[in-house]
Amino acid sequence: MTKTLITSALLLSSVFGLQAQTQKTDTVIVELAKTSKVIFTIRDRSDLTTLKAYDYQALFKDILAKIEAKDTALVAVSPVPNEKTSTEDWGKIENDDDNDDDDWSDDNRSGYSKGKKYHRHRNEGFFNFDLGMNNFLQDGKFPDENNAPYTVRPWGSWYVGFNSIQKVKIAGKFYTELGLGMSWYNFKFQNDGLTMSKGANEVEFTQTLPDINPEKSKLTVSYINVSVVPVLDFGSRPSKSLLWGHNDAFRIGLGGYAGYRINSYAKQVYKVDGDVERDRTRSNFYLNNLRYGARLQMGYKGTDIFVNYDINELFTENRGPKLNAFSFGVIF
C-alpha cells in the first residue's frame, strides 16, 4: 500500500512539473543600481490589469523600509479591486492625466484605496530668477538712431528679477502662473560722461566737465511687481524649469504684469587725478511710479526665456523723453 502511494505521488509530481515547464512565462528584469534589480515574472497576462492598480511608489518605500529594518515579513498591499470597481474604472484611473509631481493624500500612500480615485493638488509653488538685458524704444526706434544723448549700451544694461510663482492648473495642459516679486532696470548709457539730473520741469541730460575722466554712467530703477501669465504646458511633468526643474516638452505663456517703483538713482563713475570716484544721486527723475506691460515666456525641456515690454512710458508725460522700456533673457 505504501509503495502504491509513493508511486502515485511521484507520477503526480512529474505531471505538474511537466505542466509548469510547458507554461509560458514572461520575465522582465529592471536594473535599479549597481547590485540591485527587480524581477517581474508573469505567467498569466490577465494579471496586467491588476498590476496596473498598484501604488508602486508606496510599495517600494515599504520594501526599502523593511530591508533597512531587516524585516522579512510580507509587505501588505491591496492590488485586487472590489466587486464595485470594474475594469473600466481601473482604466480611467490609469489614464487620468498622470503627473509624477502630484501630491497624494496620506490615505493612499500604503496601497491603492479600493473604489476611490486619487485626489491631486492642482497648485505648485516655486521661485523664478529672471536674468537678461534691458533697453528702451522711442517711437518704435532705438534712441541711437537719432543720436539721442540717453542711448543705452546693450552690454552692461542688465535686467534682474526675483519672483515667487504660484502655478494653478485650470484644465488639461492649461495653467495660470501668478507672480509676486521685484525687478531692477539697469540702463547703462553709451556716453560714459552723461550726467542725469532732475530739472525744474523735466529730466536733464548733460555732459560732464572736461577735467573728469568718466568711466560709467547709468540709471537704476527698482519695482515691486505682480503678474498673471496663462501658460500652455505640453509636458507630462509640468514643473519648474532649468536648474531645478524637470519639464520634458514645449510650453508657452502670454500675460501681463504691473509694478510700482520703490527706488531709483543715477550713478557716475569717473577718475580725478588717478583716483576713482563714484557719485550716486537718488531721485525720482520724473519717472512714472507705475509700470505695466505684456510678458511672453516660452521654453523647451530645461530652458526657458522671457520678453517683457512696458506699455506705458518710462517718464511721466512732458517730463522726459517718450521711452518704452523692455527686457529679455533667461528664466532660472
List, for residues 118-163, the tens digit of each pLDDT value. Answer: 444 578 899 999 999 999 999 999 999 999 999 999 999 999 999 9
Residue 129 sits in the same domain as residue 90: no
Does position 97 have pLDDT exceeding 60, yes or no?
no
Of 108, 133, 159, the last residue of a domain is 108
Of the three residues 108, 131, 159, the one that is the final residue of a domain is 108
Same-domain status, 68 and 204: no
In a domain, 118, yes or no: no
Average pLDDT over residues 205-234: 92
Residue 96: per-residue pLDDT: 44
Tell if the pTM clears 0.85, that is, is over it.
no
Q: Give the pLDDT confidence of 15-39 residue by residue, as tens digits.
A: 444 444 445 667 767 776 667 777 7
What's the CA gap between 277 and 215, in Å, rounded?
10
146 and 255 belong to one structural domain: yes
Closest-CA residue to 191 (of 148, 128, 222, 161): 148
Residues 268 and 214: beta-carbon distance below 8 Å:
yes
- Residues contacting residue 40 through CB under 8 Å, at least 6 positions apart: 26, 27, 28, 29, 30
The pLDDT tens digits for 174-215 are: 999 999 999 999 999 999 999 999 999 999 999 876 678 899
Q: Higher pLDDT residue, 44 or 88? A: 44
Residues 102 and 244 placed together within one structural domain of the fold: no
d(CA 92, CA 117): 9
Question: Are 151 and 267 part of one and the same domain?
Answer: yes
Q: What are phi and psi of 66, to 5 degrees?
A: -70, -35
73 and 136 fall within a common domain: no
Residue 197 falls inside a structural domain: yes
Average confidence score pLDDT of the chain: 79
Verify that 90 and 26 share a domain, yes or no.
yes
Q: Are residues 96 and 149 both part of a single domain?
A: no
Residue 65: alpha-carbon gap to chain centroid: 32
**Residue 104 domain boundaries:** 21-108
Please report whether residue 42 resides in a domain. yes
CA nearest 176: which of 253, 257, 96? 253
Do 177 and 282 sit in the same domain of this protein?
A: yes
One domain, residues 85 and 187: no
In a domain, 225, yes or no: yes
Asked if residue 309 is part of any domain, the answer here is yes
pLDDT at 45: 75
Total domains in the fold of the chain: 2
Q: Where residue 77 falls among pLDDT bands split at 50, 70, 90?
A: low
Is there a domain that residue 7 lies in?
no
CA distance 118 to 209: 72
Same domain, 95 and 129: no
What does the pLDDT read at residue 114? 42
For residue 10, tell me if it sits in a domain. Answer: no
The β-bridge relationship of strands 174-188 and 194-198 is unpaired
Within a domain: 147: yes
Looking at the fold, whether 96 and 180 belong to one and the same domain comes out as no
> For residue 233, what pLDDT is reported?
92
CA 20 to chain CA mean position, Å: 52
Of the three residues 108, 140, 174, the one that is the final residue of a domain is: 108
* DSSP assignment of 5-62: HHHHHHHHHHHHHHHHHHS--EEEEEE-SSS-EEEEEES-TTHHHHHTT--HHHHHHH
